[in-house]
């Protein structure tokens, strides 16, 4: 069974940094493109960033471009999101998901980031 487990969320001050991790199990991680999606409390879903299977191509929403960096370590089955210059509006639950068939297929349970 494919499972994704996010970690690294927490409380951080405005202007601070945080690195999220997403560990995959039950899947050949290196075969999958991956993505991060966030959801502010009581709000809808927002695409944040995506990366292809090999890690050579990355994509960002305008709201995080220049502040967030997506990366992956296929030897560790792990996806990362380095978040710098955090703002109050970055407060959200952050989900990682597999990017397959032009859709976000398997999702993790999410990790909460609070900027305050």
Partner 1 sequence: QSVLTQPPSVSGAPGQRVTISCTGRSSNIGAGYDVNWYQQLPGTAPKLLIYGNSNRPSGVPDRFSGSRSGTSASLAITGVQAADEADYYCQSYDSRLFGWVFGGGTKLTVL
Residues of this chain that interact with partner 1 (CB under 8 A) are 35, 37, 44-47, 50, 59-62, 95, 101-110
46 vs 55 by CB, closer to partner 1: 46
64 conformational bin, left if phi > 0, alpha if psi -120 to 50, beta if neither: alpha
DSSP three-state, residue 67:
coil
1 vs 13 by CB, closer to partner 1: 1
Q: How far is the CB of 21 from partner 1 (least distance, A)?
A: 16
Q: How far is the CB of 108 from partner 1 (least distance, A)?
A: 7
Rounded Cα distance between 48 and 22, Å, is 14
Rounded Cα distance between 29 and 54, Å, is 10
14 vs 26 by CB, closer to partner 1: 26
């Amino acid at each position: 069974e494919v499972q994704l487990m996010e970690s690294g969320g927490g409380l951080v001050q405005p202007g601070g940094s945080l690195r999220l991790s997403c560990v995959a199990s039950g899947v050949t991680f290196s075969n999958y493109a991956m993505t991060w999606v966030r959801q502010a409390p009581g709000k809808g879903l927002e695409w944040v960033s995506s990366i292809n299977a090999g890690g050579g191509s990355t994509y960002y929403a305008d709201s995080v471009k220049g502040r967030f960096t997506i990366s992956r370590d296929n030897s560790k089955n792990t996806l990362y999101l380095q978040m710098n210059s955090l703002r109050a509006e970055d407060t959200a639950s952050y989900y990682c998901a597999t990017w397959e068939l032009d859709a976000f297929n398997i999702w993790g349970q999410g990790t909460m980031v609070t900027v305050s």
